[in-house]
Chain A
Amino acid sequence: MILAWLILILFVGGLAAWLADFVDPKLPRVVALIFLAVDGLLLLNVLGATPFTPADASGEWLAYLKADWMPRFEIYFQLGMDGLSWLMAILTVFLGIMATGAAWNEIHERAGFFYFNLLWTLAGVMGVFVALDLFLFFFFWEVMLIPMYLIIAIWGHENKNYAAMKFFIFTQVSGLLMLIGILAMAYFHYLQFGVFSFDYFALQNVQLAANTSLLVMLLFFVGFGTKLPTVPLHSWLPDAHSQAPTAGSVILAGILLKTGAYGLIRFTVPLFEDAARAFAPVAMTLAAVSILYCAKVAFAQTDLKRLIAYTSVSHMGFVTLGVFAWNEQAVQGAVMTMLAHGLSAAALFMLAGGLQHRIHTRNMEQMGGFWPRVPRMSVIALFFSIAALGMPGLGNFVGEFLALIGAFQISITLTAIAALGLILASVYSLWVLQKVFQGSYENDKVDDAALVDLSRQEMVFYFAMMAGLVWMGVYPGTFLNLSAMTLGSLF
């Protein structure tokens, strides 16, 4: 039941935040924070459980729930949480709190409705991370779209309509293709066993011809690959990220992209292992192309948020690489990259959003020499840039390093090419720092009246994320052990 509560609390919290707006416009953010904190505590409580194997499942689970939903098609309200789900769920709650912090002083207009959308997006994401019935999974997968669309379309920047629409159409169309894939699996189960089934464990027993398997897997891959995103399905992302409000960018980059990666690890490869192996060379090539191409494109941006968006695509390339290498090290690397990138990208978007909030532009051509003006912000930007470029001792390094080691065992050439991405990452990261924070300061380029350093309250949020990255970097065992719980049953 606890899993249903995890989701329900966020849905209810959203409604409560909206209603709170009618009492006092300052209240919704507090309500949102409280509900997120409760959700987080509940999640920590789950970790205390002893792993067990439910009767109708396999693998080890911390919590599990199965209830009737649509008996006509054997669709169940089936949720399960293991180590991987737990890591993703805690990332969701943690970044949810960060996003609330980012919106704290930025969103004043219709705040209640904003936090409603924020919490409903998170509820959908939470559902995605714990759903084991594929229909339920798809349900949550789509539930998160509408509130996210509204966040971009209402509180976004100058070109919000275009960006929000593009985001929606890309994810919706790719989602429908995935739905066809899911229904095809259910139907194949019907053909082989006489009943429809959307059960994750039952569908693993479906035997498919190699060609069919490859086609259905491709439908799943398009769905997840668009969200991830991987070249060539990535073009929605820079628009959505740059137009979304800060909190929107934080959950987009930090969490929503991870649902795609999660889907690949949880569903695509386990359900179609042979097809995934056959497809691996293509997927890994796409990953390498994503890493290099988007790093290069990032370097060509003048819009700060757009630049960070492209680097996200580039970093997510390591995830694809790791997942399709499909050995324990590689997938561990992918999971670590997901977590670490979640924090570093969220922090960078918060910094970019913070800058935009202060000087009303994202154009880097107009920035420069901010270090003396905002020393605290600059140091923090330096920290997260270095984290993003993969400095040993921080989480991102562990993730990308493991992904590359794992991939090396599958394809030396592709790994070598992908590793070049680490060099490009250093180039663009340091270039941004030079461009924005170093150099000479000219105050006629920007309206610097509001250019003040980070407040103590903002520092708290950044410190929390820095602590997370350092933890991942120096003692990754905490996280690796948890995901090993899932991965152990996959290989």
Chain B
Amino acid sequence: METAITIQDLVPLLPVLVVTGVAVLAMLLIALKRNHTLIGATTIIGLGLALITAFLVLPFAGQQVTPLLMIDNFSLFFTIVILLAAGFIAVFSFPYLYHLKDEVEEYYLLLLIATIGALIMVSSNHFLSAFLGLETLSISLYAMIAYPLHSKEAVKFPVEASLKYLVLSAVSSALILFGIALLYAQTGSLQFTELAMTGGSVADGYFITALVLLFAGVGFKLSLAPFHMWTPDVYEGAPLPATMYLATVGKAAMMVLLLRFVVASQALSFHSVVVVIGCMAVLSILAGNLLALVQENLKRILAYSSIAHMGYLLIALIALDDASTRLGVEAISFYLIAYIVMSLGAFGVATVISSSEKEFDFVADYQGLFWREPWLALLLTAMLLSLAGIPLTVGFIGKFYVVLAGVEGSLWGLLLVLVVGSGISIYYYLRIVYRMLLQPQLDQAYREAGWDSIGSYAVLALLLALLLLLGVYPGFLMSIIEVVSVSI
């Protein structure tokens, strides 16, 4: 196997290289002079540059760069999505960390490194790079979750959250590794496409064991029931921008990786694997939605709702099983975009009124928001309705995709669970909306919007515009996704 890397190989990797360069630059700048504004700006501009290069390398798509990475339209598409999301989160982080009485600069470094991991994950079609990317992302996240560690006023329990995430994430990585090892022992390859599990030379049971281990590990990372226990605690304990990162980029990168693996390796040709994923889907939808009903904390509600949303995505994943079309891939891709937009928006509203000293994350904190901060309330309402899948919003189109994929796969039972789950979910989303409509009682002092928040409000406006635009006129994104889905 040729291992020498040529210049031609490096061109498609430019986005990753730019982010890496910016991470190094940020580190050097921190060493020279600690300046929050400078590092924040460097990060945001750097991610913007990487975004531009991602567009520039589009003509070079379709290259296998070393055996580890596959840069095709699909990976570049999600590279763009992840860079945008990471950039938005950096913008939200800036005012949040502005008043933290601690060194804040390294946070951006962690964010950049985590983004490198995520970019590697969406491009890899090899277990080695997949695992490296996954660990880069996870390890950076441990630190991001525990970030406001030294601040006396820092709310919440970042250490508890971080430790919980560390231990469970390590266990799940071990499960994934064990699964990979079993597969490698049988096939002698770590390449997704060469796993050729359909050939019957080895006993099926062996593959099924490996795949179930793998899916259990992935289930942890995606917070699928029954591996979801950590999610609400980590979401609640982590500082808001880190929660945001975990919920959007973390989940999306893992899902894309899973999708690529499933499509390339035809793992779904084993009926029992499909059954296992189906059970995870049903459990996630029911557990996520039911447990969200009794929560009083916005972050916990969004945590449980994310469990349910990942469950919906699994329906589309199962629909890929012996399907003649790529509808499942398209459904997952669109839904991920929708999910990123609405999660960023929902967490974003909480972030702009919170700061590292005081987070407003209880539903009660939002009472009467409609009459105090009409625009923020409108934004949060739109995001919540989108999460509930109501038309005019992108969430509805996402649900449309998933249901269509489910219909194509004739997954009537799972669709019924989806309907029940959505029905339940309306209750907890609308409960927050209703709370915002009441008269304000607790006169909470939200964080004052200073110059540092301008970016956050601009991003929120952009997210709302995206939410509505993609909800009413999704045609162009549908066409793009149709094209990029062909490449995996």
Contacts and interface: CB of A to CB of B under 8 A. Distances in A.
A173 B423 contact: yes
B478 A168 contact: no
B437 interface: yes
B131 to A, nearest CB: 35
Contacts of A183: 400, 403-404, 407
Contact of A176 (B385, B419, B482): B419
B479 interface: yes
Interface string B372-397: 00000000000001001011100010
B426 A172 contact: yes
Interface residues of A, number: 32
B437 A146 contact: no
Nearest to A145: B390
A150 B382 CA distance: 13
Nearest to B473: A69
Contacts of B392: 143
Interface in A146-202: 146, 149-150, 153-154, 161, 164-165, 168-169, 172-173, 176-177, 179-180, 183-184, 186-187
A70 B426 contact: no
Q: Is the interface of B mostly helix, strand, loop or mixed?
A: helix
Contacts of A70: 474-475, 478
B434 A187 contact: no
A149 B430 contact: yes
A56 interface: no
A73 to B, nearest CB: 7
A408 interface: no
A139 interface: yes
Given A68-B475, A72-B479, A145-B390, A169 B434 contact: no
Nearest to A71: B475
Given A149-B430, A173-B419, A180-B419, A187 B385 contact: no
Interface residues of B, number: 30
B390 A142 contact: yes
Given A73-B478, A180-B407, A153 B396 contact: no
A168 B407 CA distance: 25
A155 to B, nearest CB: 10
Nearest to A161: B434
A142 B391 CA distance: 6
Nearest to A160: B434
Contacts of A145: 390
A169 B427 contact: yes
29 contacts: A70-B474, A71-B475, A71-B478, A72-B478, A72-B479, A73-B404, A73-B478, A135-B400, A138-B391, A143-B392, A153-B437, A164-B430, A165-B430, A165-B431, A168-B430, A169-B423, A169-B427, A172-B422, A176-B419, A176-B423, A179-B400, A180-B403, A180-B415, A180-B419, A183-B404, A183-B407, A184-B407, A186-B404, A187-B408
Interface of A: 68-73, 135, 138-139, 142-143, 145-146, 149-150, 153-154, 161, 164-165, 168-169, 172-173, 176-177, 179-180, 183-184, 186-187
